[in-house]
Amino acid sequence: MQTLQTLDYWAIAIYMALMAGIGLFLGKFVKNIGDYFKGGNAIPWVSGAISNFMTKFSTFMFVAYAGIAYQHGFVALTLIWSTVLPALVGVAIFAKRWRRAGVMTPMELLERRFSPAVRQVFAWGGVGFKILDNMVRLYALGLFVKTAAGISLEQAILGCGIIVAIYTIAGGLWAVVVTDVVQFIILMVATLILVPLTIKAGGGIANLMQTIPQHFDPFNGPKGMPLYLGVYYLMILVKYSGNWTFIQRFYSVRDERASQKQGLLTAVFFFLFPIIFLFPSIAARAILPGLENPEMAYVSVCLKLLPEGIMGLMVAAMFAATMSVLSGEYNVTAGVLTRDIYERVFNAHASGRQMLWVGRIMTLALGAIVTVGALFVGGFGGAFEANKLFTGLFAIPMTLPLILGVVLKRPRPWGALATVVVGMIIGLVLNATPSVSWEMATFIEIVACVAVFLVSGLVPSPDAAYRERVAKFFRRLATPLTEAEKPVEDPVFMRSMSRLYAVALAVTGGLFMAMSGPSLGQISGRFAFGAGLVCLFFSGLLWYLTRAVPPTSLVTTARSLTQDYANQPV
């Protein structure tokens, strides 16, 4: 099988340097812990939606879901569309609540809603689950790069991990969001080049439908069964609604309306773009029948159809997908370690500068732990099975109290803690019982967790102080933000961010055009060259629009006129 060539490695190296440079540039604008972990509540809703989308689609999409697409076809798309539901539910129920809560980490909300003990249990347990979850993502990336580049899993993980750490440690949430936008462009352009090539290699859509007709059935295979799909959709709804990065994007924008618009645009992205991402893996069944490892379908069809240089850009796009997820996860998890554990337990009087440096150290530590742990994921049966297992065991009991706690007043702190204990025990027992299917085990676990949580609210708490605190909490969630609570714009920062986007687009365009040089005689090379011209056009347009006056809506930053609610005593 073909592997990466010299030009491909140059493409990857330039891309990595671009990501690191963005993070280092943005680091000089991060002045406090609020900027680092929630972008000063000023992330633009369009950028936030792109970031929300990118932080949910890692190389896991191009390994695990690609394997399902290769084996069973469009049912992989049916599965991935489960992500649309949490975005819509977020718009309808959670968006305004999260933004009004005024928190810096999701765990802060648990203390205000329940108790300090609940906050600590969920913080420590949640960090553990995040580490496991991100190990799966790095493992999937390692598989992809190992196949494409012919290097070891350890080398692939180490190279990617270092770059993610550099720009996340330096620039915080702003670096995460800005690099997500740039990586989104690279990923979309590279994938759009591959789609027409797979259609041509497969003899056209009509021929593909004749060759592999069952692959165009959205309910084909065992994962297309109604019970499986129903439980999977329910699991993803629970997991995403309580996902820390998902929540972080909702409270990092200017106000409630921006939060809801971000959720709607995220849902659109979740619905449309997976079609483009998964089609090459579906077509691969006709182009490359009999692959030994279905999870290598996407990278295999890339290696077959993409010429030197363009393949390097595709691998860079895979890096982009996973690095977006990891950078977002590292930032929000480091926020919990810093704000909810270090400050609350070890150093309640830490200065703002101390907290900022602790946040960066925590980010580095997380990257190191996840990198080592990723080497052992293969023992769980592959990326998709490992992710499914970890979600069932840990994500469900850890997230249900978090999402139900902002809509239900009566459940009490002991109910939140009992949900975690009971849920994990039930999950472990059922998943260890061979006669119980995964879908039945997961469904029973969800029902049990919800029941335990609701039972805790049957009898009101006798603690008057607790009842008043909960009442105050829900009044806060029901009260619209005032203008004084919304951030104000810094024109200098906005101009710098717009120019940064322009430079990043120019580098991206130049990269696509340069890499297409040796293959201009092929259709893939011409596609890449045209994509580069488009990027350069928009780069020049953006630079022109910001040459004289500050932009009005591309990027904003916050310098609050009043003390942020998140810094008030709990």
H-assigned helices in 432-490: 438-455, 464-478
Are 421 and 261 in contact by the 8 Å Cβ rule? The answer is no
Both tokens of residue 523?
A: 């259709």
Q: How many CB atoms lie within 10 A of CB 107?
A: 26
pLDDT at residue 179 greater than cutoff 80: no
Q: What is the pLDDT of residue 417?
A: 93
Separation CA 241–CA 263 (nearest Å): 11
Q: What is the pLDDT of residue 564?
A: 41
Q: How many CB atoms lie within 10 A of CB 100?
A: 21
Helix 310-335 and helix 153-201, axial crossing angle in degrees, nearest 10:
130
- CA distances from residue 252 to 29, 44, 87, 341, 555 in whole angstroms, order as listed: 16, 9, 16, 21, 13
pLDDT at residue 98 greater than cutoff 60: yes
Average pLDDT in the 122-127 region? 81
Separation CA 112–CA 107 (nearest Å): 9
| Confidence class for position 386, pLDDT limits 50, 70, 90 | low
Q: What is the pLDDT of residue 389?
A: 64
Residue/partner pairs of 218-221 with CB below 8 Å, 24 or more apart: 218/74, 218/75, 218/77, 218/78, 219/75, 219/78, 220/72, 220/73, 220/74, 220/75, 221/68, 221/71, 221/72, 221/73, 221/75
Q: What is the pLDDT of residue 296?
A: 79
| Confidence class for position 278, pLDDT limits 50, 70, 90 | confident
| Confidence class for position 319, pLDDT limits 50, 70, 90 | low
| Confidence class for position 468, pLDDT limits 50, 70, 90 | very high
Separation CA 250–CA 264 (nearest Å): 11
Considering the entire predicted model, what is its pTM? 0.76
Are 59 and 321 in contact by the 8 Å Cβ rule? The answer is yes
Q: What is the pLDDT of residue 474?
A: 93
Q: What percent of the chain is modeled with pLDDT above 70?
A: 76
Backbone angles phi, psi at 487, to 5 degrees: -70, 155
pLDDT at residue 552 greater than cutoff 60: no
- CA distances from residue 477 to 92, 247, 416, 527, 566 in whole angstroms, order as listed: 14, 15, 19, 49, 13
Q: Which residue has the higher pLDDT, 410 or 331?
A: 410
pLDDT at residue 558 greater than cutoff 50: no
Separation CA 325–CA 134 (nearest Å): 8
Q: Using the CB atoms, write b or e for 329-368: b if 16+ within 10 Å.
A: bbbbbbbbbbbbbbbbeeeeebeeeebbebbbebbeebbe
pLDDT at residue 145 greater than cutoff 70: no
Both tokens of residue 40?
A: 């000063």
Q: What is the pLDDT of residue 428?
A: 81
pLDDT at residue 456 greater than cutoff 90: yes
DSSP, residue by residue, 363-413: HHHHHHHHHHHGGGGGGGTSHHHHHHHHIIIIIHHHHHHHHHTTT-SS--H
Average pLDDT in the 540-560 region? 58
Taking the chain, what is the end-to-end CA distance rounded to the nearest angstrom?
59
Both tokens of residue 170?
A: 């330096």
Are 406 and 113 in contact by the 8 Å Cβ rule? The answer is yes
pLDDT at residue 554 greater than cutoff 50: no
| Confidence class for position 39, pLDDT limits 50, 70, 90 | very low
Sorted by sequence, the CB contacts under 8 Å of residue 150 that are 6+ apart come out as 3, 4
Q: What is the pLDDT of residue 546?
A: 77
Q: Mean pLDDT, the chain, as a whole number?
A: 78
Separation CA 57–CA 457 (nearest Å): 37
Query: How many whole angstroms from its chain centre is CA 501?
Result: 21
For residue range 391-442, list pLDDT tens digits in order: 666 778 888 998 899 899 999 999 999 999 999 888 888 877 888 888 888 8
Separation CA 106–CA 242 (nearest Å): 9
Picking from 77-91, 151-165, 259-273, which range would have the lowest pLDDT averaged per residue?
151-165
Instruction: Return the half-sphere exposure (C-beta side, CA atoms, 13 A cut-off) of residue 332.
Output: 29
Q: What is the pLDDT of residue 551?
A: 42
Helix 153-201 and helix 523-545, axial crossing angle in degrees, nearest 10:
110
Are 91 and 260 in contact by the 8 Å Cβ rule? The answer is yes
Q: How many CB atoms lie within 10 A of CB 549?
A: 9
Q: What percent of the chain is modeled with pLDDT above 90?
A: 11
Separation CA 60–CA 267 (nearest Å): 19
Separation CA 341–CA 321 (nearest Å): 29
| Confidence class for position 320, pLDDT limits 50, 70, 90 | low
| Confidence class for position 494, pLDDT limits 50, 70, 90 | low
Average pLDDT in the 203-217 region? 88
What CATH class does 6-478+493-553 carry?
mainly alpha
The domains of the chain are located at: 6-478+493-553
Average pLDDT in the 466-470 region? 91
- The total number of residues written for the chain in this structure: 570
Average pLDDT in the 87-101 region? 88
Q: Which residue has the higher pLDDT, 553 or 443?
A: 443
DSSP, residue by residue, 142-166: HHHHHHHH---HHHHHHHHHHHHHH
pLDDT at residue 298 greater than cutoff 70: yes
Q: What is the pLDDT of residue 30?
A: 55
| Confidence class for position 447, pLDDT limits 50, 70, 90 | very high
Separation CA 322–CA 134 (nearest Å): 9
pLDDT at residue 150 greater than cutoff 80: no
